[in-house]
Amino acid sequence: MNGIIVINKQQEFTSFDVVAVVRGILREKKIGHSGTLDPMATGVLPVLVGRAAKAQSLLPDTDKEYEADFRLGITTDTLDIWGTVQSETKSSCSAGDIINALEPLRGDIMQIPPMYSAVQKDGVRLYDLARQGIEVARQPRPVHVGGLELLSFDEETQSGRLRISCSKGTYIRVICDDIGKSLGCGCVMTALVRTKACGFTSEDAVTLKELEALKNEGRAEELLKPVDSIFRCYDRMYISEKQSVRFRNGGGLSLDRVRSVKDRTDGRMYRVYDGRTFLGLGIIDASKEELSVKKLFCQ
């Protein structure tokens, strides 16, 4: 089996747990995933099967989308409801207050990774330090929040829901915490669902139980998305049969001989096809004036 199966990850499973279960169901050794979800988060997790596992280190940085529940008036060490409570405050904010607090959190912003995260400091995971009661200085990181919308807010419970579209590496917990800091009352994330990743949505996803049931019926392959679907953000490039032989063997192709090249910018990536067959990714090497092989998926 070669392709992508989109899993709807359940709560209390790590992304690695999902990979292990899928490996067992499909009896396929080569399995990867497209981006880590925290254990308490749910939602879209594309799993890379067979030759598609080669794509794990090459995934384009497309925006991911989430829906996150939050509650005002509380802070925890993990910035979510599952952590140890650090403070509780009476909050009486309105939906308008929340909307105003969201404004500076949109666009290109800097985020400080939370202590309970997989970011490394001097070779040690921050969450390992946090579990020892150690807090260290962290450098702010640039992220992009393309969309940040208040979907609902209950003034009585001081709880609401956000829709967020953001770049890789964005911490939704930190966005909630920043809202609480802006309003002066604290805020924690209480639930998180990823609704879109790598161009796939919740409608594409199945649960692990559904995958197992289809496997038992001999129908698991029906769930496979083509390997090239995860690279849809790159333009297609079609090459001749003769060029295909060279490309399959790792050879670069002269740009003057590739008719379908649209942009010769150095580093530009393309999906390369021989007719209907997806061969792999090619990358423009302007210094050599050629399309070099970035990764082959046809073998």
Which amino acid is residue 10, in one-letter code?
Q
Cβ atoms of residues 112 and 102 within 8 Å: no
How close are the terminal C-alpha atoms of the chain, in Å? 13
d(CA 174, CA 159): 16
Instruction: Decide if 38 is catalytic.
Output: yes
Q: Which of 38, 177, 204, 228 is catalytic?
A: 38
d(CA 283, CA 175): 35
d(CA 275, CA 237): 10
d(CA 173, CA 175): 5
Question: 36 in helix, strand or coil?
Answer: coil
Which amino acid is residue 151, in one-letter code?
L
Find the farthest-apart pair of alpha carbons in the chain and give their distance in angstroms, rounded.
Answer: 72
Whose CA is closest to 5, among 270, 198, 217, 280? 198
3-state helix, strand, coil in the chain (%, to 5): 25, 35, 35
Residue pointed to by tokens 């423009």: 284
| Nearest-10 crossing angle of helices 172-183, 95-102 | 120
Instruction: Give catalytic residues, as residue numbers.
Output: 38
